[in-house]
């Protein structure tokens, strides 16, 4: 379980990490990570930080190993977790879309995705009986190679689509980074979490302006 005193916060590794640290610092946390580049766990001043694949953040928070975390709404919906989600941080804005080779509109038989549950729900909603195949990354390749007739994947800048002659056929949902909180921690560490939530809400209002 999370440490008794300090907050433990789960953060996604990679490009988004720097942005997460930025908003937490803007919200008033003193976080020092000097000299720990390859470490997965950081005793970082005001909080303990644990770094993981974004898809694992909901699990660490739900099971109480982390008191809180930052994760994309797309990942949160795919995980099915029902975490308390008090702040839309407003960065890492992207959309989950149905993507096909430019101009191709044949019936869907197989769709590949890193988001198999959301893809299956979308296909059900549009009355398609296409099979969903789960892939781990570079999902657009499934369209290019004929593994699938379409993919359900993230579009952020659209650069991957343009570079591979793909097009977005339907936008399924919009996503952005969310601050999520373990419900027991919200009670046990309310003296730390409630002010942090208020500050993050203020910080979020300035994001994108």
Nearest distance in Å: CB 137, ligand PRP: 3
185, HSE (Cβ side, Cα atoms, 13 Å): 29
- Taking CB under 6 A as the rule, which mask of x and - marks residues 120-149 in contact with ligand PRP? -----------------xxxx---------
Nearest distance in Å: CB 122, ligand PRP: 16
Is 78:20 a contact under the CB 8 Å cutoff? no
Complex with ligand PRP: residue 30 or 138, whichever CB lies closer: 138
Q: Which of 21, 113, 125 is nearest to 70 (CA)?
A: 21
Nearest distance in Å: CB 164, ligand PRP: 9
Nearest distance in Å: CB 150, ligand PRP: 14
Strand ranges (DSSP E) for the chain? 7-12, 41-44, 47-52, 68-72, 84-88, 94-101, 110-113, 131-134, 150-155, 166-175, 177-181
Is 161:168 a contact under the CB 8 Å cutoff? yes
- Taking CB under 6 A as the rule, which mask of x and - marks residues 149-168 in contact with ligand PRP? ----xxxxxxxx--------
CA distance 98 to 178: 23
Nearest distance in Å: CB 48, ligand PRP: 26
Complex with ligand PRP: residue 36 or 93, whichever CB lies closer: 93
Position closest to ligand PRP via CB: 137
27: tokens are 């919200």
Complex with ligand PRP: residue 87 or 142, whichever CB lies closer: 142
Q: Interface with ligand PRP by CB under 6 A: which residues?
A: 137-140, 153-160
């Amino acid at each position: 379980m999370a440490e008794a005193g300090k907050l433990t916060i789960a953060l996604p590794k990679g490009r988004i990490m720097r942005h997460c640290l930025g908003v937490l610092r803007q919200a008033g946390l003193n976080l020092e990570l000097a000299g720990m580049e390859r470490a997965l766990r950081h005793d970082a001043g005001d909080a303990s930080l644990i770094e993981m694949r974004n898809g694992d953040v909901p699990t660490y928070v739900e099971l109480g190993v982390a008191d809180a975390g930052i994760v994309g709404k797309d990942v949160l919906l795919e995980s099915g977790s029902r975490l308390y989600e008090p702040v839309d941080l407003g960065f890492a804005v992207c959309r989950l879309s149905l993507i096909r080779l430019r101009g191709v509109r044949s019936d869907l038989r197989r769709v590949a995705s890193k988001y198999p549950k959301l893809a299956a729900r979308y296909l059900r909603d549009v009355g398609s009986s296409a099979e969903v195949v789960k892939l781990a990354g570079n999902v657009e390749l499934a369209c290019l190679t004929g593994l699938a007739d379409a993919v359900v994947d993230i579009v952020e800048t659209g650069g991957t689509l343009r570079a591979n002659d793909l097009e977005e056929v339907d936008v399924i949902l919009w996503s952005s980074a969310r601050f999520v909180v373990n419900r027991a921690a919200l009670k046990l560490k309310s003296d730390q979490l409630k002010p942090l939530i208020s500050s993050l809400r203020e910080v979020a209002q300035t994001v994108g302006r």
